[in-house]
Chain A
Amino acid sequence: MATTDIGLWGVPLAILGGAIRVSTPFIFVSLGETITERSGRINLGLEGILVFGAMTAYAVAVMTASPWLGLLAAAGAGACFGLFHGWICKFPRVNDIAIGIALMLFGTGLAFFFGKSFIQPLAPHLPALPFGFWSDVPQVRAALDVNVLFLIGAFLAAALWWAFRNTRIGLIIRVVGDSADAARAMGVNPDRVRLLATAAGSALAAIGGGYLSLYYPGSWNESISSGQGLMAVALVIFSRWNPLGCFAAAILFGGAGALGPALQSVGVSHGYYLFYAAPYVLTLAIMIATSSPGRTLAGAPGELSITK
């Protein structure tokens, strides 16, 4: 392996590479949650769905030797979880947050149960596109090996942002999210819209899980998720239910997460526990900076049980 000494340039490079590598699951889960929350439901079960998606994607990829089939299966499994959540929440006096927590534990447990025999085998990985081809520096090439899911996520963020504003489906989701009564007056069934929105959101979260097990770090074990599913739910609020904001927040979070290891690698090794807290400190700081006591959360769907 040819190497080039890049010294301190390693830090910004690692942040860039980390932003691309680490952010993808955050992008998918937070976009999924945006769809669900825009329709007026909160699905806290995404962590469990993410873990189950990771397991399903890995298992199917091992069995069929195709990572794409694995992702498809993960999306299907995620959608089933979402339908389940949406169906239960349809009944009166059911709390969507409580169901979400139940689903989180259920999804994780089920994934561990079925995933037992897939810890050892090796699955084929998802492909990456070498955007660093112009550079002779191997580190740059490695950082710019962009996986396809990241690109799909970026495209999806833009598409969702556009769709929420300019399409009929986007309008229906927003109406259902802001006022169920208005939606009913329009002849729209809020429960059905929410059911489908939760299913779509869960499918995206499961794809985020598939990224974890099929690309980066690229193996299935029971500690594969370090809470990405939960953090992504917070990112949605952080980005004010805006898909483009979700994308930016995920990138920021991924890059900040890469700071700790990168600083240690250039010799800034004191206080690494503090650097590992960087993403959370950053989130807090931006939350404080952008909040104001004078107004409520801008952009929050009116039907969300936290804002009602």
Chain B
Amino acid sequence: MTQRLLFNRRQFLQTTSATAALGVLGAGSAVAATATIGFIYVGPKDDYGYNQAHAEGAAALKGMAGITVVEEEKVPETVDVLKTMESMINLEGAGLLFPTSFGYFDPFMLQAATKYPKVQFRHCGGLWTDKNPKNAGSYFGYIGTCQYLNGIVAGHMTKSKKLGFVAAKPIPQVLLNINSFLLGARAVDPSITCQVIFTGEWSLAVKEAEATNALLDQGADVVTCHVDSPKVVVQTAAGRGAYVCGYHANQSPLAPQKYLTGAEWNWANVYQMYAKTFLAGETLPNFTRGGLAEGFVKMSPLGPAVTEPARKQFEATLAEMKKGNYAIIKGPLKDNKGAEVVAGGKAYIETAIELESMNYLVEGVIGATS
């Protein structure tokens, strides 16, 4: 980052004149033989979490011929990201940008997309619609199925029949993960409950540790989470002898004995798809979604503690999910206040748009969304 700032002015003049020249010459050339792709992360790229998952995806592009990867970490979800995008475009000649954090989408990425119509922007998690610029788009993975698989393994491994979930904020994605985790466990034993604690922020190390301790004090013996960096939760839980299921990336190096499995993103696959399409000069899709079947998400390898029955049910369900159209949320289903949220006979597969506005916790989850 500092390097780029040091060479700012001269490079800027060179590049702008070069791009101006290109604009005159290259109007007819359609196929780009080389491409520079920019990745922007909201936190450090080795956080054992959300950002690491994206950085691993970016790393998978570095070996591809013709691709140059530029990255910047710790870019706040403010006008800073706009500056970062502009410098990646103007100074490094990036033709395709991946601003990966949720808050980058609106208004920053949409503004940049309007200003630079020749550059392609793809955002992780945003909801791209027809009204947005055509050179923008979004991609995301259906990771709820993976939390369901976490739940199956947790359901087999728990002795107290109590699970714990450290969650950041009660938004639909997080609620779907919590519900999926519990429903997975209830597929093993319908008496299992899951206690959830919301910390209120995506990254608050001390509060996450306190939440984990409080869950364990109440008897939870398998814990998972949905925060930006699960490192603290994994270490605290394993340190007190509980099992953990991971999230975002593979955290097994942090607790090799206690790590059961984990719900991971598989961005390498997605970014390689984009990079190939982009190199070939073809049009990139605007709206991309995928789950286990499409290889957008994956599971960490099962840990050494996982028992044989757990492994069997895990593998059978995984195989079923890989066929696609697997429905976790299906009726009759009540929320934890007793109201029916899904009528009997109705089932939502992972692609169902209704799931993206989830506002309830299912029966068996102890906690409240507000």
Asked if residues B218 and A265 are in contact (CB atoms below 8 Å), the reply is yes
Flag if A261 contacts B44 (CB, 8 Å): no
Decide if B217 touches A139 in the complex (CB within 8 Å).
Answer: yes
- Closest chain A residue, CB of each to CB of B243: A1
Flag if A119 contacts B46 (CB, 8 Å): yes
Contacts of B215 in A (CB 8 A): 265
B234 to chain A, nearest CB (A): 10
Q: A261-275, CB under 8 A of B: which get 1 and which 0? A: 110111101111100
Q: Which of B350-368 contact A (CB under 8 A)?
A: 366-368
Is A17's CB within 8 Å of the partner chain B?
yes
- CB contact under 8 A between A216 and B229, given known A142-B217, A264-B198, A270-B368: no
* Residue in B43, B195, B213, B241 with the greatest tally of chain A CB atoms within 10 Å: B213
Instruction: Output the least CB separation between B307 and chain A (Å).
Output: 16
Contact A217 B43, CB 8 Å, known A1-B241, A1-B242, A139-B217: no
CA distance A214 to B160 in the complex (A): 30
Given contacts A3-B219, A5-B219, is CB(A265)–CB(B206) below 8 Å? no
Q: Does any Cβ of A come within 8 Å of B210's Cβ?
A: yes
CB distance from B355 to the nearest CB of A (A): 23
Is the beta-carbon distance between A269 and B367 smaller than 8 angstroms? Answer: yes
In the assembled complex, how far is the CB of residue B178 from the closest CB belonging to chain A, in whole angstroms?
12
Q: Check A14 against B231 for contact (C-beta < 8 Å).
A: no
CB <8 Å contact, A3 and B221: yes
| Bound: A301/B47 CA distance, A | 44
A201 within 8 A of B: no
Measured in the bound complex, the distance between the Cα atoms of B27 and A101 in whole Å is 52
Residue pair B210, A22 in contact (C-beta under 8 Å):
yes
The answer to whether B198 touches A217, judged by C-beta atoms less than 8 angstroms apart, is: no
Instruction: Check A266 against B206 for contact (C-beta < 8 Å).
Output: no
- Contact across chains for B210 and A261 when beta carbons are under 8 A apart: yes
User: Does A179 make an interface contact (CB < 8 A)?
Assistant: no
Instruction: Report the bound CA distance from A22 to B209 in whole Å.
Output: 10
Q: Does A221 contact B (CB under 8 A)?
A: yes
- From B47, B195, B370, give the contact of A221 (CB < 8 A): B47
Q: Is the CB of B216 within 8 A of A142?
A: yes
Q: Known contacts being A265-B195, A270-B368, is A14 close to B74, with CB within 8 Å?
A: no
Which residues of chain A have C-beta atoms less than 8 A from B236's C-beta? 217-218
Given A10-B218, A266-B218, A270-B370, also A221-B254 (CB < 8 A): no
Cβ of A223 under 8 Å from chain B: yes
Check: B235 CB closer than 8 A to any chain A CB: yes
B189-235 at interface with A (beta carbon < 8 Å): 195-200, 203-211, 213-219, 221, 229, 231-232, 235
- A226 contacts chain B at the CB level, 8 A cutoff: yes
Q: How many residues of B contact A (CB 8 A)?
A: 46
Q: Does A224 contact B (CB under 8 A)?
A: yes
List the A side residues contacting B312 at CB < 8 Å: none
From known contacts A264-B367, A269-B367, A272-B198, infer whether A119 and B44 are also in contact, taking CB-CB under 8 Å: yes
Report how far A261 CA is from B215 CA in the complex, Å.
Answer: 8
A23 CB to closest chain B CB (Å) equals 11
Tell me the complex Cα distance, A21–B235, Å: 15
Inter-chain contact B210/A120, CB cutoff 8 Å: no
The chain A residue with its CB closest to the CB of B74 is A222
Once the chains bind, are A1 and B240 in contact (CB under 8 Å)? yes
Interface residues of A in 151-204 (CB under 8 A from B): none
Structural contact, B214 and A261, CB atoms closer than 8 A: yes
Residues of the A chain whose Cβ atoms lie less than 8 Å from the Cβ of B39: none
Given A5-B219, A222-B74: A120 touches B197 (CB 8 Å cut-off): no
Contact with B along A1-22 (1 / 0, CB 8 A): 1011110001001100110011
B121 an interface residue at 8 Å Cβ cutoff?
no
| Alpha-carbon distance between A36 and B205 when the two chains are bound, in angstroms | 28
- A264 to B213, alpha carbons, bound, how many Å? 12
Interface residue B48 (Cβ < 8 Å from any Cβ of A):
yes
**Complex Cα distance A261/B241, Å?**
20
Which chain B residue lies CB-closest to A224? B205
Chain A residues near B231 (CB, 8 Å)?
219, 221
The answer for the CA separation of A216 and B254 in the assembled complex, in Å, is: 15
Q: Is A122 at the interface (CB under 8 A from chain B)?
A: yes
Chain A residues with CB below 8 A from B46, complex form: 119-120
* Distance between Cα atoms of A219 and B229 in the complex (Å): 11
Q: How far is the CB of B213 from chain A (nearest CB, A)?
A: 7
Q: 3 nearest interchain CB pairs?
A: A217-B209, A265-B214, A269-B368
29 examples of A-B residue contacts, CB within 8 angstroms: A1-B221, A3-B159, A3-B221, A6-B218, A10-B214, A14-B213, A17-B213, A21-B209, A21-B213, A116-B44, A120-B46, A142-B217, A217-B232, A217-B235, A217-B236, A219-B231, A219-B232, A221-B43, A222-B44, A257-B206, A261-B211, A261-B214, A262-B214, A264-B214, A265-B197, A265-B215, A267-B366, A269-B366, A269-B368
List residues of chain B with CB under 8 Å of any chain A CB: 43-44, 46-48, 74, 159-160, 195-200, 203-211, 213-219, 221, 229, 231-232, 235-236, 239-242, 253-254, 366-368, 370
